[in-house]
């Protein structure tokens, strides 16, 4: 019968389709080191992630030029798009692990995707280095021994801002403030930490109102007028990526920054570059890994030169941190003398590593790198075609991270639930 034969052919095709990739996988040699990257090639995070992916490629090329990890395991890169969505990120991660057999997953952009893929990596015993997203939730609760964080987390960044702001407030007599933060995991956790820490540091300063523009907001006019209506002494913002660009551009057009001080919001190197012409000089900004703060370290100087040579632009914070992530992995493997994930994981525990940001170490309790946060005043510099931070204040990791006592308490509370 015609239909039956048609169906048979279809079934045979389906089976063939299934089997081909399976057999292809089995014949793959074990020698190369499969490295997975789960980043947002599209969606809200694409702006930051492109730099990250480029830096990873650069690091991989450098290492492969010397034969790969341990000189004999060339790195094979597998890059997947998380679409900045947790579900898609989980799918991408499982895909990387079960199909491409990666041993480490680098990523991700949004904190919500990072916390979603963390348990998956743990389950499959695969290392996970989230080098862009920095919600404290990644390392604080539901702790995974396979996750190593090389970004100053949201608590550390908040603490750095608070130290800076408290000093400014004392000097200028500021009494009340409002917050504006993107309505998603990172915005929320950063805002909460900042408010709580500021209350400890300077209890006399009052929070008047909180604003939560949705992620992906393109028009901030109504927020700008509403904030001005509150007549705050200063505003704390936690808005990232393209939303931050839209917000700063529109706020400036309202003459906002001339009226209301806006200290300590995230102005990463990419914003400095993109808004070179329009950014108000004199703003006090915060960033995670500015290359210009560490040009005295040879590793950073070399990285910047190589990055500039390859891509004809300066690396952003996100590039610096993804680059560090690859080299942290390299050092872990060298210390373990093996690419076996369990051994690398054990070798990285509490390890001191050389990064572009200096000699840093992983804290044992949460695998958080002791990296710094950076505050500074936006100002022009003859060396660059864009403004950089002057009077950089580097708040060291160990001075800003959450005390171990509180981490233990948070985990105990989680267990009770």
Partner 1 sequence: MDLSLLFAQALSGLSRGMMLFLIASGLSLIFGVMNILNFAHATLWLVGAYACYTLWFLMQEHGFAVWVAIPLAALGVALVGWVIEVMLIRRVYARELPEQLLLTYALVLILGDLIKITWGVEDKLIARPAALAEPVFIAGVPIDSYFVFVIAVGFAVYFALWWFLNKTRYGHIVRAAVFSREMVSALGIPIPVIYTGVFVMGIFIAGLAGAIQGPVGSVTLGMDMAVVIQAFCVVIIGGFGSLPGTLVSSIIVGEVYAFAILFWPDGALALIFILTAIVLIVRPWGLFGTPMRA
Partner 2 sequence: MSAKKLAWAGAVFAALLAMPLVLGEFWVLVLTEILILGLFAVSFNMIFGYMGQLSFGHAAFYGVGAYTTGLMMVKAGVPLGLCLPASMIMAGLVALVLGYFCIRLTGIYFAILTMAFGQLIFYIIFQWYGFTGGDNGLQGIRPPALLDGPWSYYYFTLLVVTAGVIVMWIISESPFGYTMRAIRDNPQRTRFVGVNTKKYMLINFVVAAMFAGLAGGLWGPFNRSLAPDLCNWHQSGVPVFMTIIGGPTGFLGPLIGSVIYTFLMAFVTGFTEYWPLTIGIVITLVVLFLPGGVWGLVERYGAALPAREGPPPEGEGGAS
- Applying CB under 8 A, the residues found at the interface with partner 1 are 41-44, 46-47, 49-50, 209-212, 214, 216-226, 228-229, 242, 245-247, 249-250, 253-255, 274-275, 277-278
Contact 304, 320 (CB under 8 A): no
Q: Compare residues 39 and 371 and give the one whose CB is closer to partner 1.
A: 39
- Binding map of partner 2 across residues 165-204, x = CB under 8 A, - = no contact: ------------------xxx--x----------------
Tokens encoding 162: 């608070």
Which of 17, 29, 65, 412 forms a contact with partner 2 (CB under 8 A)? 17
Of 367, 271, 343, whose CA–CA distance to 47 is shortest? Answer: 271
Kindly tell me which of 115 and 300 has the beta carbon lying closer to partner 2. Answer: 115
Per CB under 8 A, does 225 bind partner 2? no
Closest CA to 283 of 264, 309, 307, 311: 264
Cβ–Cβ under 8 Å, residues 262 and 280: no
State yes or no: residue 35 binds partner 2 (CB under 8 A).
Answer: no
**Angle (CA) 290 296 297, round 5°:** 80
Which of 50, 76, 80, 242 is close enough to bind partner 2 by CB under 8 A?
80
Selected range binding partner 2 among 95-103, 228-236, 297-305, 328-336, rule: CB under 8 A: 95-103
Stretch that binds partner 2, among 2-10, 173-181, 229-237, 369-377 (CB under 8 A): 2-10
Binding partner selected for residue 359 from partner 2, partner 1, none, CB under the kind-specific 5 to 8 Å limit: none
Question: Using CB under 8 A, which of 35, 63, 116, 351 touches partner 2?
Answer: 116
Which of partner 1, partner 2, none lies near 253, with the C-beta cut-off 5 to 8 A by kind? Answer: partner 1
DSSP 67-114: TSBTTTB-EEEEEEE-TT-HHHHHHHHHHHHHTS--SEEEE-SSHHHH
CB-CB contact of 353 with 361 (8 Å)? yes
Residue 95 touches partner 2, criterion: CB under 8 A: yes
Q: Hey, what are 137's tokens?
A: 């939730």
Nearest to 71 by CA among 330, 341, 336: 330
What's the burial of 119, exposed, middle or buried (CB within 10 Å: 0-12/13-18/19+)? middle
Bridge partners of residue 382, in order along the sequence: none
Residue 192 beta carbon to partner 1: minimum distance, rounded to whole angstroms:
14
The dihedrals phi and psi of 206, each to the nearest 5 degrees, come to -105, 140
Q: Which spans of this chain sit near partner 2 (rule: CB under 8 A)?
A: 1-3, 6-7, 14, 17-19, 21-22, 25, 41-42, 80-81, 85-87, 90-92, 94-95, 98-99, 111-112, 115-116, 118-120, 123, 135, 137, 142, 183-185, 188, 215, 417
């Amino acid at each position: 019968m015609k239909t039956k034969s048609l169906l048979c052919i279809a079934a045979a095709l389906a089976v063939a389709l299934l089997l081909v990739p399976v057999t292809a996988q089995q014949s793959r040699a074990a020698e190369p080191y499969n490295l997975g990257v789960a980043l947002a090639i599209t969606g809200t995070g694409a702006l930051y992630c492109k730099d990250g992916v480029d830096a990873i490629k650069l690091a991989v090329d450098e290492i492969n030029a010397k034969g790969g990890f341990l000189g004999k395991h060339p790195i094979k890169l597998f890059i997947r798009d998380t679409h900045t969505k947790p579900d898609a990120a989980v799918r991408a991660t499982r895909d990387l692990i079960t199909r491409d057999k990666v041993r480490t997953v680098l990523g991700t952009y949004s904190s919500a995707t990072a916390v979603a893929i963390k348990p998956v990596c743990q389950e499959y015993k695969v290392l996970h280095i989230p080098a862009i997203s920095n919600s404290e939730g990644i390392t604080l609760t539901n702790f995974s021994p396979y996750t190593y964080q090389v970004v100053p987390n949201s608590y550390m960044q908040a603490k750095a801002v608070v130290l800076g702001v408290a000093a400014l407030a004392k000097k200028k007599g500021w009494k009340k403030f409002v917050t504006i933060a993107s309505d998603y995991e990172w915005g929320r956790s950063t805002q909460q930490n900042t408010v709580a820490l500021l209350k400890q540091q300077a209890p006399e300063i009052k929070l008047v109102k909180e604003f939560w523009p949705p992620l992906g907001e393109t028009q901030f006019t109504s927020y700008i007028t509403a904030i001005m209506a509150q007549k705050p002494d200063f505003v704390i913002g936690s808005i990232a990526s393209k939303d931050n660009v839209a917000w700063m551009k529109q706020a400036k057009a309202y003459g906002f920054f001339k009226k209301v001080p806006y200290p300590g919001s995230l102005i990463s190197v990419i914003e400095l570059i993109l808004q070179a012409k329009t950014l108000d000089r004199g703003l006090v900004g915060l960033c995670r890994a500015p290359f210009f703060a560490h040009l005295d370290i040879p590793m950073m100087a070399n990285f910047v030169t190589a990055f500039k040579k390859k891509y004809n632009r300066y690396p952003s914070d996100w590039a610096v941190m993804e680059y560090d992530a690859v080299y942290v992995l390299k050092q872990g493997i060298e210390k373990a003398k093996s690419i076996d994930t369990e051994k690398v994981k054990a070798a990285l525990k509490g390890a001191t590593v050389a990064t572009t940001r200096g000699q840093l170490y992983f804290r044992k309790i949460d695998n958080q790198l002791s990296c710094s946060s950076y505050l500074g005043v936006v100002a022009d510099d003859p060396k660059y075609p864009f403004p950089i931070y002057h009077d950089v204040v580097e708040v060291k990791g160990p001075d800003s991270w959450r005390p171990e006592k509180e981490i233990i308490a948070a985990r105990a509370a989680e267990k009770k639930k």
